């Protein structure tokens, strides 16, 4: 084994849900405030460090920063930024997690310029505050964003039939924002993050329909890197690493099957997800290898989770597949538990128990999900051995043991 990850402070990361979009009913979400992460960031970061996690995904809420056109108010992000510094936490900052200021028309040319100005201003702020250029994801999940907001009107801009148009506009913004950030803070690292999916045709369904859907997952990164629609200005150097989001329902049958009247629609997706035991379920290792082969960039698991009791089992599966991918020669730089903090659902405020930590805080500390904590510890040991760091892990464990013995005397 020659590969060793170097991109993040720790191989495992924690991701804080930071969606800020408007739903189709017009209500704006703010998951950083909704989870109390804005108030409890210091404890959240410290509690993650207790579990060996010193790298996170977090969010800059554009609609709060630029509430007034052209004027940047950093009061919503500075506490997070400064707390990350104070706790030794490395952060990847999502600049645009589905939401933007109401006074900007997303379909206008001005939108791209305004986003670039905001991205550059944040990069300067980060450099001034920390002395380092930032790690950023300019626009989160362009493929999903375009599907949800441009084809199915599930979120802003609540259009239909315009997914391709929205992809291109978001890519323009992402490229302009990345360029502005790098100009303001040379050395800024830029990540492209989108889901990895696998759509399987039902019997007697023309496979060309699912082939097109599977290929569409790559459109945004293809545009960013200039493989597709080069007039947008993409180039291979536009991104430094590719984040791959992978959930339990990222593989499904097409077309959707009618759901029985007594189904539980409050949390189950409308599509039929494939079980990992289904032979049509594509191994995650192969999906990671395909992404790396396509873009020749380091990859990392930017999001993964499941709700309820299967949390530890799903995490174990993902980790096993990542280890297999690394052994295949895929440079996987990390795995982000996302969301690391359980939260309320986008549409109905139902509780989504999917994190390492629950939403509830007792005396300022989040309640932990013990099975997932135990599995995380197990996986940390396995990856430490994989990356030829077993001796270091042994030494650290012995040092901790000695400290415990000394303190007990």
Give the model confidence (pLDDT) of 87-141 as tens digits.
Answer: 999 999 999 999 999 999 999 999 999 999 999 999 999 999 999 999 999 999 9
CA distance 238 to 255: 35
Q: What pLDDT is stored for residue 264 in this prediction?
A: 42
Give 399's pLDDT tier (boundaries 50, 70, 90).
very low
Pairing verdict, β 332-337 and 343-344: unpaired
CB 18 within 8 A of CB 32: yes
Q: CB of 263 within 8 A of CB of 213?
A: no
Confidence of residue 1 (pLDDT cuts 50, 70, 90): low
Helix (H, G, I), strand (E, B) or coil at 314: helix
Cis? peptide before 318, omega within 30° of 0: no
**363: confidence class by pLDDT, cuts 50, 70, 90:** confident
State yes or no: pLDDT of 265 exceeds 50. no
Q: What pLDDT does residue 205 have?
A: 87
For residue 401, what pLDDT is reported? 45
pLDDT tens per residue, range 214-256: 999 999 999 999 999 999 999 999 999 999 999 999 999 998 7
User: Which has the minimum average pLDDT: 224-228, 241-245, 341-345, 346-350?
Assistant: 346-350
pLDDT at 388: 79
Residue spans of beta strands (DSSP E) within 363-409: 365-368
- Phi and psi at 227, nearest 5°, equal -75, -25
Kindly tell me if the per-residue pLDDT of 200 is higher than 90.
Answer: yes
Instruction: Answer whether residue 266 shows pLDDT above 60.
Output: no
Cβ-contact 132, 84 below 8 angstroms: no
**pLDDT score of 404 more than 70:** no
Q: Are 166 and 159 in contact (CB under 8 A)?
A: yes
Model confidence at 42: pLDDT above 50: yes
Give which of 92, 81, 76 is closest to 16, Cα–Cα: 92
Give the span between the Cα atoms of 31 and 29, in whole angstroms.
6
Return the higher-pLDDT residue of 98 and 265: 98
pTM score of the predicted model: 0.92
pLDDT at 272: 84
Domain 12-408 is in which class? alpha beta
Residue 350 has pLDDT above 80, yes or no: yes
């Amino acid at each position: 084994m020659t590969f060793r990850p170097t991109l993040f402070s720790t191989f495992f990361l924690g991701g804080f849900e930071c969606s800020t979009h408007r739903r189709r009913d017009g209500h704006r979400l703010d998951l950083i405030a909704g989870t109390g992460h804005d108030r409890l960031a210091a404890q959240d970061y410290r509690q993650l460090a207790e579990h060996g996690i010193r790298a996170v995904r977090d969010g800059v809420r554009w609609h709060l920063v630029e509430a007034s056109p052209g004027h940047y108010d950093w009061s919503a992000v500075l506490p997070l930024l400064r707390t990350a510094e104070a706790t030794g936490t490395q952060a990847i900052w999502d600049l645009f997690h589905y939401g933007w200021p109401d006074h900007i028309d997303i379909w206008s040319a001005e939108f791209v310029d305004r986003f670039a100005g905001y991205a550059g201003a944040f990069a300067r702020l980060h450099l001034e505050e920390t002395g380092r250029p930032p790690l950023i994801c300019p626009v989160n999940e362009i493929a999903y964003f375009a599907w949800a907001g441009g084809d199915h009107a599930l979120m802003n801009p609540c259009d239909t039939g315009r997914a391709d148009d929205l992809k291109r506009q978001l890519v323009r913004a992402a490229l302009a924002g990345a360029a502005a950030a790098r100009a303001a803070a040379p050395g800024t690292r830029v990540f492209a993050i989108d889901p990895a999916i696998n759509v399987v045709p039902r019997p007697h369904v023309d496979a060309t329909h699912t082939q097109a859907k599977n290929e569409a997952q790559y459109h945004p990164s293809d545009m960013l890197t200039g493989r597709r629609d080069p007039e947008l200005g993409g180039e291979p150097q536009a991104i430094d690493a590719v984040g791959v989001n992978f959930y339990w329902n990222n593989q499904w049958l097409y077309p959707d099957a009618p759901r029985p009247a007594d189904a539980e629609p409050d949390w189950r997706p409308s599509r039929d997800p494939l079980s990992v035991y289904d032979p049509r379920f594509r191994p995650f290792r192969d999906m990671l290898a395909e992404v790396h082969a396509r873009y020749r960039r380091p990859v990392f698991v930017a999001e993964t989770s499941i709700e309820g009791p299967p949390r530890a089992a799903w995490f174990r599966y993902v980790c096993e597949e990542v280890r297999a991918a690394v052994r295949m020669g895929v440079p996987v730089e990390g795995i982000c538990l996302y969301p690391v903090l359980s939260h309320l659902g986008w549409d109905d405020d139902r509780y989504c128990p999917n994190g390492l930590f629950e939403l509830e805080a007792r005396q300022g500390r989040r309640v932990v999900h013990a099975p997932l904590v135990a599995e995380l510890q197990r996986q940390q040991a396995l990856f430490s051995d994989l990356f030829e760091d077993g001796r270091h892990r042994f030494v650290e464990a012995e040092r901790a043991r000695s400290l415990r013995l000394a303190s007990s005397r």
